[in-house]
Amino acid sequence: MYQSGRRFYLDSWQSRQWLPFPEKWKKQGIVTTDTILADRPVGFSLCMDQSPIKGATMPRVTMDDREGYIDHPTRGRLDTYIFEEKRNVHYYYDPGAKDWLQLPVSWELRSDHVSKLMAPIEETLTDWRDKHDILAALRASNYNPQMCIDNYLAVGDKAGAPVPGHTDSFHLMGEMDHSIKDLNKTIDKLRRDLEENSRQLQKEEKGRKSAEEQVRKLEDKVSSLEAEVKISKAQHEAQLQQTVPLTKFLLQAAKSSFDPILVKNLNTLMRLLHKDYIQLKMEASKRFTELQEFIKQLNVGMANVSKGCSALGKEVESVGLLYRKEAMQRKLLYNKLQELRGNIRVFTRCRFDDRTKCCLQFPSDQEVQVPGGRKLFKFDKVFSPKATQEEVFEDTWPVITSCVDGYNVCILAYGQTSSGKTYTMQGPPTNPGVNIRSLKELLKICNERDNIDYVIQVSMVEIYNEMIQDLLTSSTQILEIRVSGNHILLPGIKVMEVNSLDDITKVFQVGSENRKTASTKMNSESSRSHLICMITVKGHNRTSGATTTGTLTLCDLAGSERVGKTEATGKRLVEAAAINKSLSALGQVFSALRTGQMHIPYRNSKLTHLLQPSLGGDAKACMFVTVSPDESNLSETISSLEFGSNARQVQLGQAKQNIQKKAPRTPGGDNDNGD
Ligand SMILES: Nc1ncnc2c1ncn2[C@@H]1O[C@H](COP(=O)(O)OP(=O)(O)OP(=O)(O)O)[C@@H](O)[C@H]1O
């Protein structure tokens, strides 16, 4: 027997391989051994049908998390196991990156070596013609042609056989793996560069500090020398003042006494004193000149140091700039990786409220912690109550603007009633939210592109009690969903074209006037319907003649709330039930997408049916989970955060660009005789 970590394996004498420990033995057996060394194979003996023996050296066999099973349509239940195997990988040396990178499938097909390996497969399996496909299978068989043929033949029954010519998913997955590996390598390289730059920055910061310290010391010395010069000058002047009156006095005294010897002595004394005085004066002036010279040198030194400091400051600034640039690049690469994986991007925003203390903590801009050290939730971005509408839009606009290039994009706001969904999406007129900012941005981009003619069309509906109503007309007609191919149509819907800021303002004014709002106990302005704003951006390239059609769906969902909490009755109860039904249908769609189910229950509600193209695989989606800062709403907050966490694990697949030669249908189905 062999133990690796928590897993146990058995040596199979027949196949001479390590096989996973049989499930049924686990229920009966006790494994005994003298010593257990972590993560190291040790000798075991197996005692079956024994009563447990106490002691640390007698471990029970634990469950193996690599085991599983599949229900095969023809072979019934098959046990599965994820083996840790070493695989051959074909690399090429990239002189630019100075690194070995995995060969993409299309490049690998040019290799003679690989062609030789593929030849026996092509000869044996003559109906398998897709070279990409064969190479992908060869890779999966560790470049062993015989194993590849065996694998193909082994799974070649009717239900499980790969359909030749139809399985270029191998190729796509290979390419995708390659891109993700490359991106990871680039991220690693950037991280290393970043660390190197940070180290450099710290070193230079240290140098700057020590230079500043030196300047401070030199300044202290200069001021102490200046003080010394002042003192010696003052002493010299004092001496002079003392000497002159003394000389005058002695002369007068000598003249008054008329004693010639005394006068002579006094004259000698005077001469001596004068000589001393001259010497002292010369000494002082010499000292003074020396000091002046020293101060001059110090000033030059200080100028040099301050020059060095400013050069260092500039360098620090440029390293800082590089750091910010690289951080930005890392973020872009992360976004690209997310895009390749096709994940729904989920942001969380906590509502600002100056009347209450925020009960949530924000350890980083991607984490939110619920009080009492309970669960930590991670999102693509977490906006604290301090976040502005600009900051919120900044992280959304790369997704939004890709609809100009022909992608389907969807932004949803989900959260408890009064948690700030409408504030985030619509916002007050003086500080608009994602809706108006996105349309402005789309207009700006369209105006900047000279050789493409763009048309931006907007339509707006609300789903109230599972009924779809057009918000751009005052008509109360209920719209019905019609499906045509991959398109979801709303025949009869009003579409408005926008060309300026005034048009945008007008569309939203008309829409909000028609929107049904009703009061509940929690919020007198609470909206009890889902608001969906559908924007279509059609571009016609005058040079190439290509047409792109992108859609942006902005969705302000009705508040998720517990019926009991709002004490809803009558009409309100019906509204709450309809909202809960559609939101739980949205949760079911996410859950089915997350677990890769064949059937996605889009048709369980009008909301999910209408959003099907935006959640269905070739779209880019992001969701704002809005939460309240108030502790009394904590249980709703946790359930919203959990909803967001689940949505974050949904992979929609890589987004597809809609480029056509001919203009496609509008949401109203104008090319489809929908009206
Ligand atoms: N970030 C914020 N800064 C300032 N005020 C905010 C913020 N978020 C929300 N508010 C205010 O909180 C109140 C409730 O917000 P809002 O109407 O957006 O909630 P909601 O989630 O859309 O509610 P409902 O589900 O009922 O539609 C509003 O008065 C709004 O102006």
**Reported confidence tier of residue 607, pLDDT bands at 50, 70, 90:** very high
Is the minimum distance from the CB of 422 to ligand 1 under 6 angstroms? yes
Is the minimum distance from the CB of 423 to ligand 1 under 6 angstroms? yes
Is the minimum distance from the CB of 417 to ligand 1 under 6 angstroms? yes
For 554, the token pair is 């902005």
Q: Among 351, 352, 350, 348, which Cα is nearest to 366's?
A: 348
Best residue among 348, 350, 351 to mutate for probing ligand 1, ranked by most atoms within 8 Å of CB: 351
Mean pLDDT (whole number) for 133-146 = 88
Q: Is the pLDDT of residue 282 over 50?
A: yes
493 vs 340: which has the higher pLDDT:
493
Q: Which atom of ligand 1 is found nearest the CA of 522?
A: 26
CA of 372 to the centre of ligand 1 (A): 26
- Residue 232 near residue 284 (C-beta atoms within 8 A): yes
The reply to whether the predicted model has a pTM over 0.80 is no
Q: Is the pLDDT of residue 328 over 70?
A: no
Please tell me what DSSP assigns to residue 472: S
Q: Among 652, 669, 601, which Cα is nearest to 346's?
A: 652
Please tell me what DSSP assigns to residue 415: E
Q: Does residue 421 have a known ligand-binding role?
A: yes
Is the minimum distance from the CB of 352 to ligand 1 under 6 angstroms? yes
Q: Which atom of ligand 1 is found nearest the CA of 349?
A: 1
- Which protein residue's CA is at the shortest distance from atom 23 of ligand 1? 418
Q: Is the pLDDT of residue 524 over 60?
A: no
Give CA–CA dist 213/207, Å, rounded. 10
- Phi and psi at 164, nearest 5°, equal -60, 140
Is the minimum distance from the CB of 529 to ligand 1 under 6 angstroms? no
Any idea which of 313-327, 349-363, 629-643 has the lowest mean pLDDT?
A: 313-327
Is the minimum distance from the CB of 527 to ligand 1 under 6 angstroms? yes
What is the structure's pLDDT at 670?
Answer: 40
Q: Does residue 415 have a known ligand-binding role?
A: yes
Can you give the length of the chain in residues? 675
Q: Which atom of ligand 1 is found nearest the CA of 428?
A: 31
Give CA–CA dist 641/636, Å, rounded. 9
Give CA–CA dist 600/650, Å, rounded. 12
Q: Does residue 417 have a known ligand-binding role?
A: yes
Mean pLDDT (whole number) for 620-641 = 91
CA of 421 to the centre of ligand 1 (A): 6
Any idea which of 75-89, 153-167, 548-562 has the lowest mean pLDDT?
A: 153-167
**Reported confidence tier of residue 203, pLDDT bands at 50, 70, 90:** confident
Q: What is the ipTM of this complex?
A: 0.98
Please tell me what DSSP assigns to residue 60: B
Give CA–CA dist 3/25, Å, rounded. 15
- Residue 657 near residue 406 (C-beta atoms within 8 A): yes
- Residue 348 near residue 379 (C-beta atoms within 8 A): yes
Q: Among 241, 237, 272, 265, which Cα is nearest to 251's?
A: 265
Best residue among 414, 421, 423, 525 to mutate for probing ligand 1, ranked by most atoms within 8 Å of CB: 423
Is the minimum distance from the CB of 132 to ligand 1 under 6 angstroms? no
Q: Does residue 198 have a known ligand-binding role?
A: no
Burial of 602 per CB tally in 10 Å (0-12, 13-18, 19+): buried
Q: Among 175, 94, 83, 103, which Cα is nearest to 143's?
A: 103
Helices (H), 533-617: 563-566, 570-594, 606-610, 612-615
Is the minimum distance from the CB of 415 to ligand 1 under 6 angstroms? yes
Quickly name the fold that domain 342-660 has. Answer: Kinesin (3.40.850)
Best residue among 349, 417, 422 to mutate for probing ligand 1, ranked by most atoms within 8 Å of CB: 422
CA of 537 to the centre of ligand 1 (A): 29
For 365, the token pair is 């801009």
- Phi and psi at 352, nearest 5°, equal -80, 135
What is the structure's pLDDT at 45?
Answer: 47
Domain segments of the chain: what residues? Answer: 2-81, 91-167, 209-330, 342-660
CA of 262 to the centre of ligand 1 (A): 108
Is the minimum distance from the CB of 426 to ligand 1 under 6 angstroms? no
Q: Does residue 416 have a known ligand-binding role?
A: yes
- Which protein residue's CA is at the shortest distance from atom 5 of ligand 1? 352
Is the minimum distance from the CB of 523 to ligand 1 under 6 angstroms? yes
For 196, the token pair is 């190197």
**Reported confidence tier of residue 337, pLDDT bands at 50, 70, 90:** low
**Reported confidence tier of residue 100, pLDDT bands at 50, 70, 90:** confident
Q: Is the pLDDT of residue 35 over 90?
A: no
Strand partners, 32: 45
Is the minimum distance from the CB of 420 to ligand 1 under 6 angstroms? yes
Q: Is the pLDDT of residue 383 over 50?
A: yes
Render pLDDT for 167-185 as a digit per residue (tens, 0 to 9). 444 445 555 566 677 777 8
Mean pLDDT (whole number) for 303-331 = 76
Is the minimum distance from the CB of 559 to ligand 1 under 6 angstroms? yes
- What value does the mean pLDDT of the chain take? 78
Q: Which atom of ligand 1 is found nearest the CA of 419?
A: 21
Is the minimum distance from the CB of 526 to ligand 1 under 6 angstroms? yes
Q: Which atom of ligand 1 is found nearest the CA of 423?
A: 18
**Reported confidence tier of residue 519, pLDDT bands at 50, 70, 90:** very low
Mean pLDDT (whole number) for 470-496 = 88
CA of 469 to the centre of ligand 1 (A): 24
Give CA–CA dist 212/216, Å, rounded. 6
What is the structure's pLDDT at 57?
Answer: 43
